[in-house]
Structure 1
Amino acid sequence: MSECRLNTSVTDPRQPRPSANLLRRLVAVPTAALSDAMLRLPGAVGVLPVGGPLGECRMAGPALTVRTRPGDNLVVHKAVDLARPGDVLVIDAGGDTSRAIVGDLLCRYAASRGLAGIVLDGAARDVAELRELDLPIFARAVSHLGPYKNGPGEIGGPVSIGGLPVSHGDLMVGDDDGVLALAPARAEHIVSDAEALVAREEQTIAAIKSGTWDRSWVDAALTITPLDDIRE
């Protein structure tokens, strides 16, 4: 029998859940603004939308983490059975893209369970069908080759997604630019800073449209050496 290691907090109903208001705010703010508010520290690289409506692939929810053997999705099926509505399934498949870990059937089942999204450091398939689902799905690649179902795996432990460490319960946020993770204790502070950045960018957009954008900051940030000095 295949082994599945399980963090008991995965099924503990007492585990704190993020407020609906916080999730609404996270969904409304672009990941680029959240990234800037986090000092542009390294995040998930190479994990982009492959499912959910194009241009509307926005997601926020607590991570249910899964680590599986590359090319195998047995433990992923078990994780979907354990997931609670609003969870984001975060699957560490080692970045392997030779075989799809999720496809149409598994993702449809995840949507029926009320998941908020799927993030996969691995490959997906059935992309045309995934685009019809109202479920944001992020993956590293696409492969028509299907998965094995032998195990083993782990649910609820630490994972890595595109170089981004994710712990069970972290807040996952995603849109067409990719995904990032926020520690729950810092989420309110980060989203407030990101909202302020968005407001400032809206002012800049208005200045661009009116032709009044002050560009003096560019030269102020540069040390410009005249060409004549270089020739000498």
Structure 2
Amino acid sequence: MANIGFRVYENVNRPEKELIEGFKGIQTANIGDCMNRMGAINGSIRQMNEKNILGPAYTVKVPSGDNLMIFLAVEKAQPGDVLVIDGEGCMDRALVGEILAKFAESKKLGGFLVDGCIRDSEILTEMDLPIFAKGTNPNGPYRNGPGEINVPVSIGGKVIHPGDIIIGDGDGVIVVKQEEAKELQRKAHEIEQKEVAIFENIANGKGLDLTWMYEKLKQEKCEFIK
């Protein structure tokens, strides 16, 4: 019988490097707008060291406060992989600290996305390795297991599958399926071009076209009282 809850799936359908790099320099806000504003995980998980994250998801599901399988995931992940850790949102103890972070950096991984806490934060914030997490806690984790690697995980209201593209900046994290990536890149670039024109009009004193706003106010029968 399968050992449910203590399994490692070793094959990951990673996107092509060119597909991933197509998101470089694109703001998560613009990508999210192209996804009907439904593509981001919630704001409980934030950027911890001002380093943007971009890469394929290498997922890990662990029990609350236990990081045994995270060590194995770092060992088995490939350069560029983003360790996406479903730690059940535990705030009582850290799942990633200096040892794991430096191990991951030595393997040239793409960073950590942790639904839980980190520690050694003063050191981690000075590293080049991108780290997104829910918070910090000096309590260390247990190392007993179980856990699963490369299974679908749920983080911040989003289901993330191995190989999904993870894009994160100061605003938060967007999750993109491989088959939707090229279309989203095209749409996001179109938004960027439109915004350039908008910002130029504002800078040149032409203001902002608020026709849409007045139409909405009229529709709602908004009263202007003097």
Q: Same fold (TM over 0.5)?
A: yes
Q: Identify the residue that residue 47 of structure 1 maps to in structure 2.
A: 45
List, as ranges, runs of 4+ consecutive aligned residues in structure 1 with deviation greater than 6 Å.
none
Q: Assess if the C-alpha contact under 8 Å between 2:93 and 2:139 holds in 1.
A: yes
- Aligned 1:1-232 pairs, distance under 5 A: 4-10=6-12, 15-20=13-18, 22-41=19-38, 43-45=40-42, 46-51=44-49, 54=50, 57-212=51-206, 213-223=208-218, 224-226=221-223
The separation in 2 between residues aligned to 1:218 and 1:110, in whole angstroms, is 48
The separation in 2 between residues aligned to 1:40 and 1:226, in whole angstroms, is 30
The separation in 2 between residues aligned to 1:215 and 1:25, in whole angstroms, is 32
Structure 1 unmatched runs, 5+: none
Structure 2 unmatched runs, 5+: none
Give the direction of change, closer, same or farther, for the CA distance of 1:163–1:225 in structure 2 (3 Å limit).
Answer: closer
Percentage identity across paired residues of the two chains:
37
Task: Report the 3-state secondary structure (helix = DSSP H, G, I; strand = E; otherwise coil) of the residue aligned with 2:23.
Answer: helix
Q: Assess if the C-alpha contact under 8 Å between 1:65 and 1:156 holds in 2.
A: yes
Task: Report the 3-state secondary structure (helix = DSSP H, G, I; strand = E; otherwise coil) of the residue aligned with 2:64.
Answer: coil
Using the TM superposition, give the Cα deviation of residue 16 of structure 1 relative to its aligned residue in structure 2, in angstroms. Answer: 4.6
Figure out how many residues of one structure are paired with residues of the other and give that number: 217
Using structure 1 for the length normalisation, give the TM-score: 0.88
The separation in 2 between residues aligned to 1:140 and 1:170, in whole angstroms, is 20
Using the TM superposition, give the Cα deviation of residue 42 of structure 1 relative to its aligned residue in structure 2, in angstroms. Answer: 5.3
Using structure 2 for the length normalisation, give the TM-score: 0.91
